[in-house]
Amino acid sequence: MSDSTNVQSTRIVLASRPVGAPTPENFRTETVDVPEPGDGQILVRVVYLSLDPYMRGRMSDAKSYAPPVELGDVMVGATVAQVVTSRHPDLAEGDYVLAGTGWQTHAVVDGRAVRKLDPEAAPLSTALGVLGMPGFTAYSGLLKIGQPKEGETVVVAAASGPVGSAVGQIAKIKGARAVGIAGGPEKCRHLLDDLGFDAAVDHRAPDFVECLREAVPDGIDVYFENVGGPVQAAVIPLLNLYARMPVCGLVAQYNTLPTEGPDRLPAFFSTVLVKSLTVRGFIQSEFVREMHDDFLRDASEWVRSGRLRYREDIVEGLDAAPEAFIGLLEGKNFGKLVVKVAPES
């Protein structure tokens, strides 16, 4: 057992709640002493930190599906960490675990709240992306709610991101036609050349609406919603009868302040009625008990066989997290955004 005395942790806390888009001033860096782990606990050092759009919602104190981060508390986030000291019988020094330590370099956590990782099975960072929460969000939302059938058309926005890229590829595996919406020619080429999408549409192009219509000549049967905003507005008129819309995020609206404008809700519900649409919001955690084992089995095999590919956008150092997170909400990342907090060994 390693000596964990005099261990300090650098952490990033929520200094103030953002109004609109987050700024660097909303975060504060602190250094604190780490306590000794008690019975059943482990002391870990963080190796990789996941940055995800949902964190913007946790910075707000508005009512949501999860409690907000309190002012002065560590920013939340999933991490891959290595055990430094263990007082848990099933975990040993040197083991790697998937944990929820948040934005900090070291932490003491309950050994029952982590999942041991096999660094030989897949790169450790994939536990935060294609084999982690984003991948499971794609898998569960598409298969449970979207239920794509062979020959149908599946459209996904933010398609070069960790959730969207998995949605399109899983749709292809299930025999559907995959159309991705992404920001910029480079990301669209990635969808076609690297991930095997059938079509890719640039939402930044001036003729986006026309190009999207041309990309779905038979309409849209499944629209996996994680963006909202103008992209959603372009998609809705193209939805087929009995189309399904899993809704897992609205990243285009997270930083939006309330404004006066036309009420589009009546028109939307008219479309829901006339086209018999299924629109269901979901949080991936509600499907964990039912589907997570199947996901790990299927996704791991698809990654090994090359049928499910992924791209990571890795930034170096915990101090880079605030700027990287702000850029994430502006679509500046290309692939799963991960902070490399420390070396793997």
Question: Whole-angstrom Cα distance, residue 135 to residue 170?
Answer: 10
For 232, the token pair is: 């959603």
Q: What pLDDT, in 10s, does the model give residues 90-113?
A: 999 999 999 999 999 999 999 999
Coil vs helix vs strand at 220 = strand
Distance in Å from the first CA to the final CA of the chain = 17
**What is the model's pLDDT at position 65?**
77
10 Å Cβ neighbour count for 335?
18
Largest CA distance in the chain: 66
Question: Whole-angstrom Cα distance, residue 111 to residue 41?
Answer: 5
- Classify strands 220-224 and 239-247 as parallel, antiparallel or unpaired: parallel
Q: What pLDDT, in 10s, does the model give residues 237-281?
A: 999 999 999 998 776 555 555 556 677 788 888 888 999 999 999
Please, is 68 exposed, middle or buried when counting C-beta atoms within 10 Å of its C-beta (0-12, 13-18, 19+)? middle
Mean pLDDT of 34-42: 97
Mean pLDDT of the chain: 93
Q: Is the pLDDT of residue 63 over 90?
A: no
Contact call for residues 57 and 76 (beta carbons, < 8 A): no
**What is the model's pLDDT at position 254?**
53
Question: Whole-angstrom Cα distance, residue 21 to residue 78?
Answer: 22
CATH 3.40.50.720 in the chain is located at 140-285
CATH 3.90.180.10 in the chain is located at 8-129+311-340
Question: Whole-angstrom Cα distance, residue 67 to residue 161?
Answer: 25
Specify the pTM: 0.88
Question: Whole-angstrom Cα distance, residue 289 to residue 7?
Answer: 36
**What is the model's pLDDT at position 125?**
97
Least confident interval from 138-147, 262-271, 286-295: 262-271
**What is the model's pLDDT at position 1?**
44
DSSP-assigned letter for residue 112: G
The matching CATH number, chosen from 2.60.40.10, 3.40.50.720, 3.40.718.10, 3.30.70.260, for 140-285 is 3.40.50.720
Q: Is the pLDDT of residue 323 over 70?
A: yes
**What is the model's pLDDT at position 232?**
92
For 118, the token pair is: 């096999």
Q: Bridge-partner residues for 104, per DSSP?
A: 11
Provide the CA 100 distance to its chain's centre, in angstroms: 14
For 146, the token pair is: 């979207």
**What is the model's pLDDT at position 250?**
74
Q: What pLDDT, in 10s, does the model give residues 161-220?
A: 999 999 999 999 999 999 999 999 999 999 999 999 999 999 999 999 999 999 999 999
Find the helix or strand (DSSP H, E) in which 185 lies.
helix 185-193
Which class is 8-129+311-340 in CATH? alpha beta
